Amino acid sequence: DAGVIQSPRHEVTEMGQEVTLRCKPISGHNSLFWYRQTMMRGLELLIYFNNNVPIDDSGMPEDRFSAKMPNASFSTLKIQPSEPRDSAVYFCASSPSGGSGRSYEQYFGPGTRLTVT
């Protein structure tokens, strides 16, 4: 079975440019998560969706970041405009669990390494 698919695997862009990261979750999973990982801050939850609806976006750094999930098989994370401090590895994860009070077993994609110069 295919795991979580992310694209691109690597992205190098200049400051001020728009960046779009893509994720295809595991079929049948109803929760999707976007994380950012850096050496300094570790793995940070940015936003998560349950049944395509954003549940918690409190981790989104600022208005430059936005995420969408138009259907159960696709999500995007957009940064506009990008800044050098956005450089990190961005992970998408999906989970078969859901609902208030539940904990989630997450299946991660390979990540997108973003470099903003």
Partner 1 sequence: TQLLEQSPQFLSIQEGENLTVYCNSSSVFSSLQWYRQEPGEGPVLLVTVVTGGEVKKLKRLTFQFGDARKDSSLHITAAQPGDTGLYLCAGGNDMRFGAGTRLTVKP
- List residues binding partner 1 (CB under 8 A): 4, 33, 35, 42-43, 45, 48, 56, 91, 93, 100-111
The angle subtended at Cα 94 by Cα 66 and Cα 31, nearest 5°, is 75
For the bound state, the minimum distance from the C-beta of residue 16 to partner 1, rounded and expressed in Å, comes to: 28
Question: Would the CA dihedral through 4, 9, 15, 20 be positive or negative?
Answer: negative
Site of tokens 């903003």: 116
Give me 9's structure tokens: 């695997």
- Smallest distance, Å, CB 81 to partner 1? 27
Closer residue to partner 1 (CB): 15 or 55? 55
Compute the least distance from the CB of residue 15 to partner 1, in Å: 25
